[in-house]
Structure 1
Amino acid sequence: MEKVKISPFQMFSLIFLFEIGSAVVVGLGVQAKQDAWIAILIGMLGGIVLFCIYYCLFRQYPDLPLTSYIPKVLGKMIGYPVAVLYILYFIYIASRVLRDLGNLLFISTLTQTPLWVINLLVIFIIIYANYLGIEPLARTGEIFYFLHIFCVLMCSFFIFSSGLVKTENLLPLLENGWKPVIKTAFPLTFTFPFGEMIVFTILMPYLNRPHLNLKTGLFAMLISGLILSYTTALNIAVLGTQKLETSIFPLLETVSKVNLGDFLQRLDAIVISMLVIGCFFKISVFTYAAVIGSASLFKKRKNPAMVIVVCLLTLAASLLNAENIQEHIYIGLKIVPVYLHLPFQAGIPLLLLIVMLIRKKIKTR
């Protein structure tokens, strides 16, 4: 672990930007049609329960990241392989976010640039951010948090001013009952993005006031969840459910429709900037967690070589994990939530907590 500390507001900013990250890029919860915004709120509540479990684990080992206390709980024979799997999991999810960002830039602006070139340029910035460490990244997050909120307010103002919002697109509410909403919330919006807070079990020891980890995390999840729900509702109100389901990047399409007196148009650049910022912080947090997790597990100091290896693995995985954007989206919706997210975000942490409680009870007796 690096000998650095970050403030509660810096942690809040990191979590907020991380949660918004790539979730605002893709059509989150569109399987629930006009009730997608409700599915996001339900997923957020499930994510909050998970975060409470992560905090309980942290309280038992307040000075250690997740990858260091897994072997202490499960034993070295089981614990070390599980910890290594978590490192690989962080790298893989970082690669998926990098692929999302690369696809966004390729489709929206850099249409003549190969995807591997875009991802390579992004990964250079990620390497630099990881090399500097969590403290500069968190300080940068403070600035971009306010910028992000300003952009959300400004885009909302222009969308409403253009008369694009049609509230009837949000009706009828719960047309097919609660079943499609719950089915979308679990496991989709529950695991992405809220369950991905598992990565902050690596960063919790860095908070300079450890007792505020729970409040900071829950407040950041609440604010980001409300904004994601609001953004989704806005996309539905502007595009309608049919257009939303077929759109790869709904928010981008929503903002592209802004037209104030044939003068103020094409606000795509603002949205693309927001999305790039969110994805940058999400990739940085995942890769940094993989670096620190590796360093703590193998009792090594964080060094540039370790950062480069993790980031290059992320780059390679982003180019190899799918042949095209359709396959990438299919894997993200059908395979990753069930076979990766649920075990790593809910299954293993719950097992760790149960083992901890049993050991504590035996020790008390």
Structure 2
Amino acid sequence: MESAKIKAYQLFVLVVLFEMGSAILVGLGAQAKQDAWIAIILGLGFGLGVFLIYYQLYKYYQDLPLTSYIQKITGKWIGRMIGIGYIIYFLYCASRVLRDFGELLTTTIYTTTPLIVINCLMIFTIIYGVHKGFEVIARVGELFFLIVYMMAVVGFGLIMFSGLIHLENLRPILENGLKPALKTALTETVNFPFGEMVVFTMLLPYLNDAKKAKWVCLGGMVLSGINITITAVINVAALGADLFARANFPLLSTISKIQLANFIERLDVLFMLYLVIGGFFKISIFFYAAVIGTADIFGFKNHRKLSFPMGALVLFSSITIASNYAEHIKEGLQIVPIFLHWPFQILIPSFLLMIAFFRNRGKGKNEQA
């Protein structure tokens, strides 16, 4: 790992930007229809519990990233195999978010621009950021955090004054009971975006005050969860449950309806600006974790040498990951949660924590003796 240190506030900003990332853009919790906001709150609750698993592992090994302490917990060779699995997982997640980013721009504004051109521009920017180091990414996050919140306040105000909010679209609440919302939480919202905090197991050692890690990360998750919930409520209230469930990008549909005094309209640019900012930070964090994890496992002294070839791999994967956007979304909702998210976000960390608990309990007894 590079010798970088970031402040607690910078980590908080990165957590919020990462969690909101692409979750605000897509119809998160759409399977629960008008109860999407309940599914998001349930997912946040479960996600906070999952993060405590990551935090407990961090307490045992505060100076080590995930790929290093896995080897201490399970042994060198098994640990390396699991670590390589996490690197592939982080690269895959970066590819998925990059595809989301490219698809939205090519289907809305740059309709005649090839997907690979859009994705190339983004990945080259991210590679440049990784070359500059993690501290630079964190400082840029501080700057854009304020811009994102200014845009959010302006956008929320314009939506309210445009008379788009119809709270009756949120009723009936829990029409079919709690089961649909709970099912959506367990199969979608707990994994995306809250379970993706597993990537921060690679980044927590950069924090200059380890004591603040727990509350900084939990606070960032709660704030982003509130923002995503409010966005879902606004989308359902403005579009109705059926259109919200069918729309590929509900927030874009909501913003495109803004019309105030026959003067303020076509504010899609706010959405696109957030898309670029949110996409950059989400992809950057996944990509950076994969790069330093690879350097750690294979003994590279300079992780920067890995950024370009691994960036090319992410770019290629984002193009070939699915033949079209419908297939991409179906894969993300039905296949990825079961075969990737649950094992890498919940099952493997829980297994590692159990082993670490018994290993460290034994050490504590030996020290006392």
TM-score by length of 2: 0.97
2:357 corresponds in structure 1 to 357
Output the CA distance in 2 between the equivalents of 1:215 and 1:299: 32
Structure 2 residue 159 is the aligned partner of structure 1 residue 151:
no
The answer for the alignment partner of 1:174 in structure 2 is 174
1:10-52 deviation digits (Å, cap 9, x = unpaired): 1011110000101111100000010100110110111111111
Q: Give the superposed CA RMSD.
A: 0.9
Q: Which runs of 4+ in 1 moved over 4 A?
A: none
Per the alignment, residue 87 of structure 1 pairs with: 87
Query: Counterpart in 1 of 2:288?
Result: 288
Spell out, residue by residue over 1:318-354, the C-alpha distance to the aligned partner (whole angstroms, 9 max, x if none). 0111000000000000001111000000011000000
| Residue aligning to 1:69 | 69
Per mean C-alpha deviation after superposition, the further-off stretch among 351-360 and 82-91 is: 351-360
Partner of 1:316: 316
- Per the normalisation by structure 1, the TM-score is 0.99
Q: State the match for 1:23 in structure 2.
A: 23
Q: Distance in 1 between matches of 2:308 and 2:23?
A: 26
Deviation for aligned residue 1:133: 1.1
- Secondary structure of 1:67's partner? helix
Match of 2:299 in 1: 299
Aligned length: 365
Aligned to 1:163: 163
Q: For residue 149 of structure 1, report the CA deviation from its aligned partner.
A: 1.0
**Separation in 2 of the partners of 1:196 and 1:81?**
20
Per the alignment, residue 139 of structure 2 pairs with 139
Q: Structure 2 matches for 1:167-316, cutoff 5 A? A: 167-316=167-316
Distance in structure 2 (CA, Å) of the matches to 1:245 and 1:187: 16
C-alpha separation between the residues in 2 aligned to 1:14 and 1:304? 21
Q: Specify the alignment match of 1:123 in structure 2.
A: 123
CA separation in 2, counterparts of 1:52 and 1:237?
34
Distance in structure 2 (CA, Å) of the matches to 1:234 and 1:207: 35
1:45 aligns with 2:36: no
- Aligned AA (1:2): E
- Where in structure 2 are the equivalents of 1:324-363 lying within 5 Å? 324-363=324-363
Deviates more, 1:301-310 or 1:159-168: 301-310
Preserved CA contact (<8 Å) 1:37 1:232: yes
Report deviation, 1:117: 1.0
Over 3 Å counting, the alpha-carbon distance change for 1:361 and 1:4 in structure 2 is: closer
Q: Please give the alpha-carbon distance, in whole angstroms, between the structure 2 residues aligned to 1:360 and 1:224.
A: 33
Q: Aligned partners of 2:63, 2:362: CA distance in 1, in Å?
A: 24
Q: Does 1:14 align with 2:14?
A: yes
- 1-structure distance, mates of 2:228, 2:89: 24
Indicate if the aligned counterparts of 2:252 and 2:271 stay in contact, CA closer than 8 A.
Answer: yes
Distance in 1 (alpha carbons) for counterparts of 2:360 and 2:161 = 59
Q: Distance in 1 between matches of 2:36 and 2:75?
A: 42
Aligned residue in 1 for 2:105: 105
**Deviation per residue, 1:135-159 (Å, 9 max, x gap):** 0110010111111111111101000
AA partner of residue 318 (structure 1): S
- Deviation per residue, 1:58-107 (Å, 9 max, x gap): 11111110001101101122111100010010000000000000001101
8 Å Cα contact 2:292/2:303 also seen in 1: no
Q: Quick one: distance in 2 between partners of 1:300 and 1:313? A: 18
Q: Distance in 1 between matches of 2:183 and 2:302?
A: 41
CA offsets 1:209-252 (integer angstroms, 9 cap, x no match) = 11111010000000000000000010000000111111100000
In 2, Cα distance between the equivalents of 1:231 and 1:210? 32
Q: Is the 8 A contact 1:72 1:79 kept in 2?
A: yes
Asked if 2 retains the 8 angstrom alpha-carbon contact of 1:24 and 1:275, the reply is: no
Alpha-carbon distance between aligned partners in 1 of 2:302 and 2:23, rounded to the nearest angstrom = 30
1 CA distance for matches of 2:269 and 2:105?
11
Does the 8 Å CA contact 1:291/1:302 hold for their aligned counterparts?
no
Distance 1:243 1:31 in 2: 12
Q: Is the 8 A contact 1:292 1:302 kept in 2?
A: no
Aligned partners of 1:33, 1:209: CA distance in 2, in Å? 42
- Deviation of 1:359 (Å): 1.8
Moved more, 103-112 or 294-303: 294-303
Q: How far apart are the structure 2 equivalents of 1:303 and 1:343?
A: 27
Which consecutive residues of structure 2, in runs of 5 or more, have no partner in the other structure? Answer: none
One-letter identity of the residue aligned with 1:259: Q
Distance in 2 (CA, whole Å) between partners of 1:242 and 1:303 is 47
3-state SS of paired residue (1:191)? coil
For the residue of structure 2 that corresponds to 1:175, the secondary structure is coil
Deviation at 1:310, TM superposition (A): 1.5
The Cα of 1:302 is off from its aligned counterpart by 2.8
Partners of 1:294 and 1:303 lie apart in 2 by: 8
Q: Which 5+ residue runs of structure 1 have no aligned equivalent?
A: none
